[in-house]
Amino acid sequence: MSGMGSRERILGALRTSAPAPAPDSRELEARINKHHARGTLRAALPKQRADEMERVMTSVRTEVIRSDAASWPALLAAKLGQAGVQRLLLDPVTAEGAALVAALPGGMQAFSFSQPLEAWKNSLFSTVDAGFTLARSGIAATGTLVLAPDAGTPRTVSLVPPLHVALVYASTLHADLHAAMHSERWSAGMPTNLVLVSGPSKTSDIQQTLAYGAHGPAALWVVIVDDGMEAQA
């Protein structure tokens, strides 16, 4: 293909007119850091971050459930039952997945993502009611979940079923995106897919009218587990 010649042509054209390279970006990063250091939630207590997370997520039609480590499984299981969920996709190997499975009402089927997507694509698209994921962390300022899908909880768990339920620990809530990226050292090792989720799928493509449930999950529930806040604060 013309690919190789084009590479040289494009790079050549750019190099002919490019200014002398100035790759050092430390000053730029210092400015970025300084700008974000003013963020209003930087000095907030974990409880305040959780409150803000709840407030912002609720404003984009996310159902937020505040709970603690002991009570959330029963609370969530009851809510799933009320919503009529019958088939729930989750990773039973994680402590949270196992706790939820143990609390589920009889008749609700929990199952794991045990084979490659292409082996059961159509069934995933048509027969799964909800997917449960454990968020790596959260971002309070924008009401955002940080999901790092892995072999146990692949990308489509939070994407294809009409209901996505995520659990996030209050102690993992960052003030803002900049803080999340730095304290988790994203640049040192990005997963194949890191997804920031800030509400259920939506669109305003028809006459600027907001509608939920465009292509992704139409509903998002977020369980914020208050864990050891006092110790952290």
Residue 9 in contact with another protein, rule: CB under 8 A: yes
Distance CA 102, CA 171 (A): 24
> Quick one: 35 or 71, whose CB is closer to another protein?
35
In the complex with another protein, the residue whose CB is nearer, 5 or 106, is 5
| Range 97-116, binding another protein (CB under 8 A) | 113, 115-116
| 93 in contact with another protein (CB under 8 A) | no
Which lies closer to another protein via its Cβ, residue 102 or residue 214? 214
Query: What does the per-residue mask of binding to another protein show for 142-181, with x meaning CB under 8 A?
Result: xxx----xxx--xxx--xx----------------xx--x
Q: Does 118 bind another protein (CB under 8 A)?
A: yes
Does the protein bind another protein through residue 14 (CB under 8 A)? yes
Least Å distance, CB 107 to another protein, is: 27
- Positions in 185-214 near another protein (CB under 8 A): 186-187, 190-209, 211-214
Q: Is 36 in the site for another protein (CB under 8 A)?
A: yes
Closest among 91, 109, 84, 80 to 223, alpha carbons compared: 80
Residue 70 interacting with another protein (CB under 8 A): no
Shortest gap between Cβ of 116 and another protein (angstroms)?
A: 5
Q: Is residue 159 within 8 Å of 218, Cβ to Cβ?
A: no
Give CA separation, 95 vs 83, 101, 153, in Å.
Answer: 24, 10, 13
17 binds another protein (CB under 8 A): yes
Show Cβ contacts of residue 21 under 8 Å, excluding neighbours closer than 6 positions: none
Q: Within 38-116, where are the H helices?
A: 46-59, 72-82, 95-103
Contact between residue 154 and residue 186 where contact means Cβ atoms under 8 Å apart: no
Per the CB < 8 A criterion, the answer to whether 165 and 91 are in contact is: no
Q: Which C-beta is closer to another protein: that of 38 or that of 231?
A: 38
Q: At what angle do helices 72-82 and 95-103 cross, to 10 degrees?
A: 60
